[in-house]
Amino acid sequence: MSPPPPAARRTRPPAGGRVFGALNVLGVYGLVGGLFALGCAISREFISPDNLMNALRAVTLLGIVAVGLAFVTYSRHYVDLSIPGIMALSGTVAVWALKFGFVPSLAIGLAVGALVGLVNGLVIGYLRLNPIIWTLAMMSLLSGVIRWAYAGRQIYPDKATAAGRAFLELYHHRLLGLLPLPVAVLLAVAAGGYFLMRHTGYGARLKLTGSAYEVARLTGINVRRAVAGAFVISSLTSAAAGVLLTSFNKVGAVYIGGGYDFRTITAVVLGGMTLAGGRGSIVGVLGGVAAIALMNNVMSLVRVGQFVLGDFQQNIVQGAVFILVVGINSFARRRTGGDDA
Amino acid sequence: MEDIGVALRMVGVSKRYPGTLAVDDVNFDVRAGEVHALIGENGAGKSTLMMVLAGAFDDYTGQVCLGGTAVGLHSPAAAKAAGIQMIHQELSLAAPLSIAENVLAGRLPRRAGLLDRRRMLSETRRHLARVGLELDPQTPVEEISLHEAQLVEIAKALANAPCILVMDEPTSALSRAEVQRLFEIIRRLRRQGLAVVYISHHLSEVLQIADRVTVLRDGRKVATEPVAAVTAAQLVERMVGRSVSGLCARRKTAPGAEKLVVEHLSRYGFFHDVSFTVRAGEVLGIGGLSGSGRSELARSLCGIDPVDAGRVLLDGRPVRPGSYGAAIRAGLGYLTEDRKTQGLALRMSVAENVLSAVIPRHCRHGVYSPRRGGGLLARLIDRLSIQPPGPGRIVSALSGGNQQKALLAKWLAADPQVLLLDEPTRGVDVGAKVVIHQAVAELADAGRSVVLISSDLPELVALSDRIVIMRQGHLIGQLDPAEASEASVLLAANGEGKLVPA
Amino acid sequence: MTPSAPAPTRAAARPPGRARPFAKAAAAAYRYRVYLLCTIIFAVMGAAAPHFLTPGNFSNVLKGTSTNLPAAVGFTIVLIAGQLDLSVGSAMTMGGILVMGLSPSLGWAGAFGVAVLCGLGLGLTNGLLVAKARINSFIVTLGTMIIVYNAMAIYCRGGTIPATTFALSDFLQRPVVDLDPRGAPPALLWLTLWLTPRNLVSLAVMAAAAVFLRRTPAGRGLHLMGGNPQAAWYSGLHVDRYVIGAFALSGLLAAVGGAVVAAGEAAGSLKLGENSLMTIVAAVIIGGTSMEGGKGTVVGTTVALVALTALINGLSCLGAGHEVQLVASGLVLALIILYDAYWLHRRQRRRGQRKDLLEELQARAASDPPAGRGSQGAPSAPGPGREGRSHG
Amino acid sequence: MTTRRTAAWAMAAMLGAIGGCRSEPAGRKAPADRAEALKQSLAVDVSGLKSADTQPLIIMDETPLQPPPRPADPLKLPEDDPLHWYDMEYAGWRGRKVNLPRSPGDGALGKRVICLRHMDHPYTTAYTRGMEKVAGACGIRLKTLTAGNADVNIQSQQVDQVVNERPDLVILFPVDATAVVPMLRKLNQAGVPIIASNLLPVDQGMPYVLTWTGPDDWGQFRMLAREFAKRMNHEGGYCIVRHMPGGSPFFSRTFSVVTELKKIAPRMKCFDMQTTLLEAEKTAQVVSGWITKYGAELKGIVSADDSGAQIGINEACRNAGREDIIRVAAGNSKVGMDFIKAGKLHGITYQSAEADGALPMKIAADWFNGKEDLKPVYYLPKHVITAKDVDQYMPAQW
């Protein structure tokens, strides 16, 4: 989308491939550390486990989605704008499918999400359509279809059935009585994502595909499949988050997951995943998510004057920090001799 | 004083990149009405020096005088204003725009502030005619072929009526005839008093067109002397800093069994009805002019591009068409001619690039650990003497020659039964060339088959056991091994040689 | 080896030797796909939807178009420059809210001035961050989109700012030639009813942009820059200035658009530009502007915008719900870009084919059935077309 | 791929879309004779209709409207003075009207009514359901348009469309209380009778409408505030989760509580108020922040919505182990009522979505039948649902 700068200006980089990566990750964790210090300075309550737990809870689902989207960004396909649609769809379908029992409904929910991801993957990976535009169209289609299917109603899990109750409790379920399920899912997804990206053949192929598509193709890598895979992964995590969010909201409705598209890409990029593809890591992405969590939390603790629309100020600060951090990252990368991607 | 007639003089010019000193205190001058060749191995600083002229850097040191007056070339605009035009190695045309708008880029004719289309088109036609192109100026550049594009690039440079013309490898995609036409143009311009700087790896071209030649090595100037006074061998010696005994000894091997059989392979509009065989331990050279369909043949052969008719057999088993992955698994490999955009991921390390072709081999139960490839990697780096040897190096930090070695290493790592080499030494310095030639020879001696596509005739003749000739999309036959020589290849490629059926 | 008949492959089924009867028509259809789409929508809706093909509704469609048109034009310019501007929606909102908020104190002219200047400022900021700080435009404009929207939310305290008088609104909405809808002959109404100052402003903006992009050296330079920044740079163009300029224009136009809309609706609200971005992106892409830069026309964008608006409007004439409109517009966008991809694929497949070879192939296809093609002539025998041009 | 095939594709897309359209219900044919038509129309009795929660469908607040005297400049007064909000609360009460169209007086039978809704939402779905019941009973042909996702521009376009289609009456559910004024004016000038609904337009808009019907946000939130105060024993700090910006509830459901509590329970203190766009997650985050920030001093939370936002609030309280916090909210969604039954919510306003949709249609029918002396505003009755009487409002409407 944004064209390469004149090569003549691009300085010849010295050694050090993983320097950038490390630098990005360090960068975002530096931010996290700074926010942490700020929080401690601002109020005593900040450091309390309750508060930190709240901060974490607020971004658990965001984290789950972000890990998936990271693969799309890593493959140099920017963003999947159909994420909110996938979340709403999988959640709603899961509620509808409760009549087949609890586990089947979860399975069906995830499957539907993955199906959308597969379509995205096939169209973008195999037909080479622009990801932003296609997923935009897909988003419009999905939100239309959901409204159409449920005629503007929202559907409730039936409390009368065991499956319904189980579904409503899903979000609050605690593994071994202490670890909240969403957090567990996040940890699992993150670990899986990290392993997949770092330590599998797929990860290596995806990296080459993301860094240099043509090269990957002429190395005999099935680039189309690699890209399609990224979209399927992203849709799967979105679906999982969607089901959890639906259980949290106690209803399946079209507005579930709204705003997750841009919030997620913000977290991913903040975490040092460059839109140029092939760079960044899941660890960094988690850092980005943590940074957003702390930013919100700290700002909500600031005692600003009464009767202000605190939300708006918070967003402004977030937007500014976002641009700033990414700017510093790309600047640092240029300085260390990388390209401006 | 001696500045009389000197169009350009560069005094003590240096340019430092982070890490390296690319150009180190170079003095260089061109007289009006002379062609001054600039040669040297890759990474010797030729291109950097000329980019200084093109105004690509605002941080070079030293002095540049044009016609005796010092000028600062800190932006391309400044360079253009000073009458310096550059023909770039990698084309600088905008694909979606029309030829006309590319040729007249930056100086479109205007009437009453608006664009004057009629004049734009007529002017463009004139400029295209000079380089012998009859194309509609309104055709988008994305729809013309590569060598047409290169001619457009030249027309674009000439359109700006420069007083100093810098040509960086202008002939890489041109056919012989086109090269000759280009030389005619250059000679005419020289008579008109234009000062030309000519950068090339083709010593033959240099000796043919240049008046003086300057040799650079490691960013320093080694020598400047009139072309009449030097031989190719001497120039090579100065470039590499050591004497090179004949490029590569002619190999003699007893070919083994038939390895690769190509039957009536066609991709409509690119090459038709091509049939040949390659034996184990044999190097089959494919001669021909640029645009004769050799690369297209190679790409379709290993499934990168589609095949419309015919088939390919490896060890008697047909290779699934249209799937490069399958072809590689079957034992084929294709080393692309376009290193920068198709061969190497410049952002990634040498190790990652070299091992990228053998990812599955280093996976155990789904776990990929490049470390397993460490030994292989070290061997290859050592065998091809890739400099600097660090596997963690980012590829873009390597010189062209070493990048090419890395690219070859990638395919040696994959160790295919049949390796197709497309211009394996294009734009590569002599030192790297020797290494690559040896590697190819060893490959064949190890019983692998090699298909060599090269416009470098000495290389083609020296390395190949057999040479077949392609012309205008047809394989028109094989040279009699007895009398294969640069000359015979050239004649055959131009459709005048005598051939035996392949 | 014996010349055996070549194994049939999937592609061999249709040798390009055969002349394709519809080639011309298909090419034209692709070339003018936007107009085609627009015509189809008008035809279908005109046939199906009550009250659709009436002067009143036509002007209604154009009003809907003009709402997003200036911003869409700006977006097109940025896309041609090879960048992306997600902040157009917020810029519209800003223009609208500022005009309404400031007009009591500064008067209409003053308020417009300030609003437009703010738009320009936003654009410049985007441009500088992209060109000088070298941050990806997707990221920059995503950030400014959020910042500006929330700044406006604070400015109008989450509410909506009404106009103090209806005078300007009436002026902007009333046709220049004001005929009585009941009395006047429909033919005249068709011509005059949509000629409101509000629409005219948008049309003027569009026309100016079209001339700028097609007929001025600067405009062509923008294309060059988007198509190949390096080439532009070597041709002595100031690439950064073009990038900044493109963003500045986009911000400015979006603000103008927002301001006009707010003035016309006699109210500036946060929701003004909220849903514009998606519509604009869809329209610009359907209009044939390429995400890779260097390619695109504002006329195409305009027609596409008309088509989309007509689609939505027609559907609601049919009483179709929001969901149907979403599905329909999604489908149209999807189909168009699939169509594009298909054509790109075909072009790349044919790119670089040699004329002489194709002619030869046709000659053969004429002379004998494709099956026997393999056995035709020993490879070394001189065939037809051999001595053609030295290159294809 | 040829021209024809492309065309075919596009056609398929269109027809597919058109296939899904809800076409207007036919409605009974009105007899030619006006008197006969009127007689038949008057014969229709809708009082027996019930909404999904088995409550009567046609309900309205009969108490006469008597607004207090308007202060010179309300906005000069402090925000916690009820009269600061005078123009918002008593919008149009003074009943000033401009060129209202006369009733045709020939009966509702076979009349065409268009309803412009602000967005797709379960509430509006129930709202439309109620409206359709009445329309069906009265033989009125109803067509419903939705302004996209609460998009002012689209609503404005749909208003133009209505002007173009000239129905017998339009029921308008504004996207925005202020931005709707010019639209009302335009419809009024075009001679289209308007009944505004649910969202009370600002005062400047009221002259153009026959009347307005909807929930009495100010009134019922005062009622809710009194219930809230009672449960808080008239002391302690509280916070308010606000409605979406842009609508009147954003202010009414906030400041009616603030002003009322200032009057009846001066010892209660409002710590903080924020909009969370009614999103559960966001609300949970904000409320958790409040609980951390104000700790034990925070005794109660008022919410502008008992579904999404309330879920967030309860989540936060549950996580912090602060089930003791007193919670009241607006609207009677299923979620809210379940919370009431579960004791996690102590009071919600009864706002029957179906009745909200039925009332304007009923009044439209009366107007068609010749009833022209309409009140400037018709409120739904005010009531606060608590654990005591929640059962009689089940099953919830949405």
- The CATH number covering residue B183 comes to 3.40.50.300
Q: Which residues of C touch D146 (CB under 8 A)?
A: 321-322
Asked if pLDDT for residue A268 goes beyond 90, the answer is: yes
Q: Residue A236: which of A139, A118, A330 has the closest Cα?
A: A118
Same domain, B164 and B282: no
Which of B115, B308, B499 is opposite residue C11, by nearest beta carbon? B308
Give the pLDDT confidence score for residue C219 in this predicted structure.
92
Give the pLDDT confidence score for residue D224 in this predicted structure.
94
DSSP string, D84-104: GGHHHHTTTTT----SPPPP-
Asked if pLDDT for residue C83 goes beyond 80, the answer is: yes
Under an 8 A CB cutoff, do C64 and D153 touch? yes
Q: Is residue B338 part of a domain?
A: no
Task: Give dist(CA D289, CA A310) in Å, integer.
Answer: 12
Strands B6-16 and B61-66: antiparallel
Q: Mean of the pLDDT values across residues C112-117? A: 96
Structural domains in chain B (count): 3
- Using one digit for the tens of pLDDT, what is the confidence trace for B148-160? 888 888 888 888 8
**Across-strand partners of D268?**
D236
Range of lowest pLDDT (A78-82, A205-209, B151-155, C246-250): B151-155
Give the pLDDT confidence score for residue B250 in this predicted structure.
52
H or E element, residue B390: none
Q: Residue D247: which of C160, B18, B106 has the closest Cα?
A: C160
pLDDT-above-70 percentage for chain D: 92
Nearby residues of B160 by Cβ (< 8 Å), 6 or more positions away = B80, B85, B107
Task: Give the domain ranges of chain A.
Answer: 57-301+309-326
Q: Residue B493: which of B445, B456, B440, B465 has the closest Cα?
A: B456
Do D141 and D111 meet the contact criterion of CB atoms below 8 Å apart?
Answer: yes
Read off φ and ψ for residue D195, nearest 5 degrees: -120, 115
Asked if pLDDT for residue D373 goes beyond 60, the answer is: yes
Q: Which residues of B touch A201 (CB under 8 A)?
A: 359-360, 363, 366, 368
Asked if pLDDT for residue C274 goes beyond 90, the answer is: no
Task: Give dist(CA B196, CA B210) in Å, integer.
Answer: 9
Q: Mean of the pLDDT values across residues A252-272? A: 91
Asked if pLDDT for residue D360 goes beyond 90, the answer is: yes
Other CB atoms within 10 Å distance of the CB of residue A44:
10
Asked if pLDDT for residue A1 goes beyond 60, the answer is: no
Q: Directed axis angle between helix A102-121 and helix A162-170, to 10°? A: 60
Read off φ and ψ for residue B435, nearest 5 degrees: -55, -45
Range of lowest pLDDT (B217-221, B431-435, C377-381): C377-381
H or E element, residue C168: helix C167-173
Tokens of B119: 């004049």
Q: Report the topology of domain A57-301+309-326.
A: ABC transporter involved in vitamin B12 uptake, BtuC (1.10.3470)
Q: Which residues of D touch A50 (CB under 8 A)?
A: 292, 319-320
Domains D34-61+101-215+353-381 and D217-350 share a fold: yes
Domain that includes residue B471, residue range: 254-331+416-502
> Which residues 256-295 of A have a C-beta within 8 angstroms of C?
262, 265-266, 269, 274-276
Which pLDDT band holds residue C78 (cuts at 50, 70, 90)?
very high
Give the pLDDT confidence score for residue A8 in this predicted structure.
36
Asked if pLDDT for residue C73 goes beyond 90, the answer is: yes
- Using one digit for the tens of pLDDT, what is the confidence trace for D147-168? 988 888 899 999 999 998 899 9
Task: Give dist(CA A123, CA A116) in Å, integer.
Answer: 11
Give me the torsion for CA of D262, D266, D269, D272, rounded to 10°: 10
Average pLDDT, chain D: 87
Task: Give dist(CA B65, CA D138) in Å, integer.
Answer: 95
Asked if pLDDT for residue A19 goes beyond 50, the answer is: yes
Which pLDDT band holds residue A338 (cuts at 50, 70, 90)?
low
**Across-strand partners of D169?**
D113
Q: Mean of the pLDDT values across residues C106-130? A: 96
b/e burial code for range C135-147 (CB count within 10 A of at least 16 → b)? bbbbbbbbbbbbb
The CATH-assigned architecture of domain D217-350 is 3-Layer(aba) Sandwich (3.40)
Q: Mean of the pLDDT values across residues B114-119? A: 89
Range of lowest pLDDT (A10-24, B71-85, B105-119): A10-24
Do D110 and D139 meet the contact criterion of CB atoms below 8 Å apart?
Answer: yes
> Regarding predicted confidence, which is higher, B255 or C281?
C281
Which pLDDT band holds residue A6 (cuts at 50, 70, 90)?
very low
Read off φ and ψ for residue B323, nearest 5 degrees: -130, 105
Neighbours of chain A (3+ CB pairs under 8 A): B, C, D
b/e burial code for range B190-205 (CB count within 10 A of at least 16 → b)? beeebbbbbbbbbbeb
The CATH-assigned architecture of domain D34-61+101-215+353-381 is 3-Layer(aba) Sandwich (3.40)
Q: Mean of the pLDDT values across residues B426-446? A: 86
Range of lowest pLDDT (B103-112, D309-318, D333-342): B103-112
Cα→Cα distances B373→A253, B354, D59, Å = 51, 9, 80
Three-state SS at B318: strand
DSSP string, B154-182: HHHHHHT--SEEEEESTTTT--HHHHHHH
Strands D347-349 and D384-385: antiparallel
Other CB atoms within 10 Å distance of the CB of residue C54:
19
Asked if pLDDT for residue D87 goes beyond 90, the answer is: no
Which pLDDT band holds residue B4 (cuts at 50, 70, 90)?
low
Same domain, B364 and B446: no
Same domain, B193 and B295: no
Task: Check CB contact of B257 with chain C, cutoff 8 Å.
Answer: no
Tokens of D397: 């409407």
> Which residues 165-224 of C have a C-beta within 8 angstroms of D?
166, 169, 173
Q: Mean of the pLDDT values across residues C67-77? A: 96
Give the pLDDT confidence score for residue C380 in this predicted structure.
37
Task: Give dist(CA C103, CA B452) in Å, integer.
Answer: 76
Under an 8 A CB cutoff, do A248 and D315 touch? yes
End-to-end CA distance of chain D: 48
Give the pLDDT confidence score for residue C131 in this predicted structure.
94
> Regarding predicted confidence, which is higher, D68 or C181?
D68
Q: Quick one: CA dihedral C131, C134, C136, C139, positive or negative?
A: negative
Tokens of D136: 């069906």
Asked if pLDDT for residue B245 goes beyond 70, the answer is: no
Task: Give the domain ranges of chain D.
Answer: 34-61+101-215+353-381, 217-350
Read off φ and ψ for residue C119, nearest 5 degrees: -60, -45
Task: Pick the last residue of a domain from B208, B240, B272.
Answer: B240
Task: Check CB contact of A209 with chain C, cutoff 8 Å.
Answer: no
Asked if pLDDT for residue B362 goes beyond 50, the answer is: yes
Give the pLDDT confidence score for residue B252 in this predicted structure.
62
Nearby residues of B251 by Cβ (< 8 Å), 6 or more positions away = B283, B441, B444, B445, B463, B465
Do D242 and D304 meet the contact criterion of CB atoms below 8 Å apart?
Answer: yes
Q: What DSSP designation does A164 have?
A: H
Amino acid at D107: G
Under an 8 A CB cutoff, do C226 and A3 touch? yes
Q: Which residues of C touch B143 (CB under 8 A)?
A: 347, 351
Asked if pLDDT for residue B290 goes beyond 70, the answer is: no
Under an 8 A CB cutoff, do B76 and C234 touch? yes
Task: Give dist(CA A322, CA A221) in Å, integer.
Answer: 34
Range of lowest pLDDT (B248-257, B410-419, D199-208): B248-257
Which pLDDT band holds residue B410 (cuts at 50, 70, 90)?
very high
Tokens of A228: 């399609």
Same domain, B285 and B375: no
- Using one digit for the tens of pLDDT, what is the confidence trace for D255-287? 999 999 999 999 999 998 888 888 899 999 889
Asked if pLDDT for residue D8 goes beyond 90, the answer is: no
Q: Mean of the pLDDT values across residues B379-387? A: 90
DSSP string, B55-116: T--S--EEEEEETTEEE---SHHHHHHTTEEEE-SS----TTSBHHHHHTTT---EETTEE-
Cα D95 from chain centroid (whole Å): 20
Structural domains present in chain C? 33-342 (1.10.3470)
Cα→Cα distances C37→C41, C64, C298, D234, Å = 6, 18, 16, 65
Which of C6, C357, C373 is opposite residue B263, by nearest beta carbon? C6
| Chain A residue with the nearest C-alpha to that of C134 | A340
Strands B195-199 and B317-318: unpaired
Asked if pLDDT for residue A22 goes beyond 80, the answer is: no
Task: Give dist(CA C324, CA A140) in Å, integer.
Answer: 10
> Regarding predicted confidence, which is higher, A225 or B255?
A225
**Across-strand partners of D173?**
none
Read off φ and ψ for residue B274, nearest 5 degrees: -95, 130
Any idea what the Cα angle at residue D198 is, between residues D197 and D201, rounded to 5°?
75
> Regarding predicted confidence, which is higher, C95 or B139?
C95
Task: Give dist(CA D172, CA D184) in Å, integer.
Answer: 9
Q: Residue C145: which of C117, C125, C115, C116 has the closest Cα?
A: C125
Half-sphere exposure of B246 (CA within 13 A, CB side): 7
End-to-end CA distance of chain B: 64
Which of D6, D22, D177 is opposite residue C339, by nearest beta carbon? D6
Q: How far is C253 from chain D (nearest CA, A)?
A: 18
Q: Mean of the pLDDT values across residues B227-239? A: 83
